[in-house]
Amino acid sequence: MTQSLEDYLEAIYILIMDKKVARVKDISQKLSVSKPSVINALKELEDRAYLQHERYGYVELTKSGMKQAEIIFRKHTMLKGFLKNILGVSDKNAEADACRIEHYLSEETISRIQDYLSSKRETN
């Protein structure tokens, strides 16, 4: 999956968690992209069976879409916490950097960072 589609999936997930629903307008605003760009991405994600969307309706994640979105969100949240709390990066930069690097790290690397963060919590 492309970085862009991962960003769309994560944005939809966050909107659903925050507002209980995701609409094209909300996704467009969250990602600062045009509505036609959102529609194109939704079509591609729907073709991959990650979501369902009826024209002018809400966007709903499928089981596989929810699972994938949770993985992406978990990576992002964990990386942001690592950058901010362990490395002392500002909140703004930690957010931006986490969004960029979440797409490139392997599950093994993510798991090791998570283990490190867990061990730091246990010792504090």
What is the share, in percent, of the chain residues with pLDDT greater than 90? Answer: 83
Of 98, 96, 50, nearest in space to 75 by CA: 98
Q: Count structural domains, the chain.
A: 2
Tell how many helices (H) and how many strands (E) occur in the chain: 6, 2
pLDDT of residue 118: 86
Q: What is the pLDDT of residues 34-90, one digit of tens each?
A: 999 999 999 999 999 999 998 889 999 999 999 999 999 999 999 999 999 999 999
pTM score of the predicted model: 0.89
Q: Which of 24, 46, 67 is the last residue of a domain?
A: 67
Q: What is the pLDDT of residues 94-123, one digit of tens each?
A: 999 999 999 999 889 999 998 988 887 777
Contact 58, 22 (CB under 8 A): yes
Please give the backbone phi and psi of residue 74, each rounded to the nearest 5 degrees, phi first: -60, -45
19 and 44 assigned to the same domain: yes
87 and 57 assigned to the same domain: no
Phi-psi region of 55 (alpha: psi -120 to 50; beta: other; left: phi over 0): beta
